[in-house]
Amino acid sequence: MDRLTSDRAARFTESVIRDMTRQILHYHGNQGLNLAQGFPDFPAPAALKEAACAAIMADHNQYGITWGIPSFRQAIARKVARYTGIVADPETQLTVCCGATEAMIATMMGVLNPSDEVVIFQPFYENYGPDCILSGARPRFVALREPDWSFDRDELAAAFGPRTRAIVINTPNNPTGKVFSRDELSFIAGLCQRWDSLAITDEIYEHLVYEGEHISVATLPGMAERTVTISGLSKTYSVTGWRLGYAVASPAITSAIRKVHDFLTVGAPAPLQAAACTALAFEDSYYTQLLADYRQRRDFTLRLLAGAGFRCYPPAGAYYIMTDISDFGFESDVAMAHYLVKDIGVATVPGSSFYHDEALGRQKIRFCFAKRMETLQRLQGLLSRMATPAKLRRL
């Protein structure tokens, strides 16, 4: 047998981000600092952990309804209405999935046909590329340009056409931290309406906005029927391992997403769905504190990266910092990321992995700051072992 794997699987590589996680463990065991993959190193809220233990002990241990247990869907609908203004019927407009990750691929497979075009901003969260390949769609890339990660409206308008079935929006954005403004989203909404396209919007960092305001595209005039809003519990409640996400869409789109979701995974973990109702009922003060803590981490990390010689693009949202490394003189982002993980003990993500046109990311590196302050202070110590650009110039 000479053909053991599919052509489809050959068209994308393993995740660079998750590979960096493996590399830091390989070189430094638990002594290394993993600022590559986006997960916190601090505990999830105690009330949530207790609710999970209680749910398991109460025997919520069998399959739930495939698109989400009713109490969890009702809790999501209440929370989504309160914080985004989207009104969704939990019976017909909500699909609970195994993370926003599965919500995105189930959506793409549920709404796209092979050869449909999908507009994607680059740099992008790396899953969107393989998601297009798995769903057979053809991506059209439009650049978000530093320093403010704005897009050229003519370039975006030119990417739309009769084959455009959808645009993927991610606000707040990974890896840039961009928070799309109302004006930008209205422009995008206009294009979706003109070309009869869908907006698929990944809003997993919705509560982490340091500058500006989070706006759900679905709340813009004429967009409720043509938007799929994706979010989840991973980032807001520090439970990336629980794998709980959801998609909110019109009943017709929801029934397509639910069918795909059913045959991909059957369902998200039932006891964790039961437990997560606790989180969705947290008071406003929980989100205020979450944001204040992240703002402190962001400001501290920005200062220390700038001190070490990185040129930073301060993020308006999410929990990453994109940096420009050109002052260090490394031939590429991959070379510098390799040096950082092997010699310094810090895992980062090479910028090129966020671009289709890899050259655009060759002098960029992304740091994740979803870490305890003590961890970030350790970063300061580790980076001090590195030659700064000023020192390099004197050599």
Ligand X SMILES: Cc1ncc(COP(=O)(O)O)c(C=O)c1O
The pattern of x and - marking residues 252 through 291 that bind ligand X according to CB under 6 A reads ----------------------------------------
Of the candidate residues 95, 107, 164, 234, the single one contacting ligand X (CB under 6 A): 234
Of 32 and 245, nearer to ligand X (C-beta) is 245
Nearest-approach distance from CB 174 to ligand X, in angstroms: 4
* Contact between 172 and ligand X per CB under 6 A: no
Contact 224, 218 (CB under 8 A): yes
Kindly indicate which of the ranges 51-59, 99-107, 250-258, 342-350 contains the residues binding ligand X, using the contact rule CB under 6 A. Answer: 99-107
Site size for ligand X (CB under 6 A): 13
Of 103 and 302, nearer to ligand X (C-beta) is 103
Of 127 and 164, nearer to ligand X (C-beta) is 127
Nearest-approach distance from CB 125 to ligand X, in angstroms: 4
The pattern of x and - marking residues 36 through 55 that bind ligand X according to CB under 6 A reads --x-----------------
Task: Tell me which residue of 107, 80, 77, 109 sits closest to 91, measured CA to CA.
Answer: 77
Phi, psi of 82, rounded to the nearest 5 degrees: -70, -40
Contact 58, 264 (CB under 8 A): no
> Amino acid letter at 271?
P
Give 378's contacts (C-beta < 8 A, 6+ positions apart). 33
Task: Tell me which residue of 390, 383, 298, 371 sits closest to 345, measured CA to CA.
Answer: 383
Q: Which of residues 190-229 bind ligand X (CB under 6 A)?
A: 202, 204
Of the candidate residues 20, 35, 52, 100, the single one contacting ligand X (CB under 6 A): 100
What's the distance, CA 302 to chain centroid? 20
Of 101 and 323, nearer to ligand X (C-beta) is 101
Task: Tell me which residue of 306, 299, 296, 330 sits closest to 383, measured CA to CA.
Answer: 306
CB atoms within 10 A of CB 114: 8
Kindly indicate which of the ranges 47-55, 95-103, 185-193, 380-388 contains the residues binding ligand X, using the contact rule CB under 6 A. Answer: 95-103
Give the burial class of 205: count Cβ atoms within 10 A of its Cβ; 0-12 exposed, 13-18 middle, 19 or more buried.
Answer: buried
Task: Tell me which residue of 360, 367, 359 sits closest to 323, measured CA to CA.
Answer: 367
Of the candidate residues 64, 90, 99, 129, the single one contacting ligand X (CB under 6 A): 99
Catalog residues that contact ligand X under the rule CB under 6 A. 38, 99-101, 125, 170, 174, 202, 204, 232, 234, 240, 245
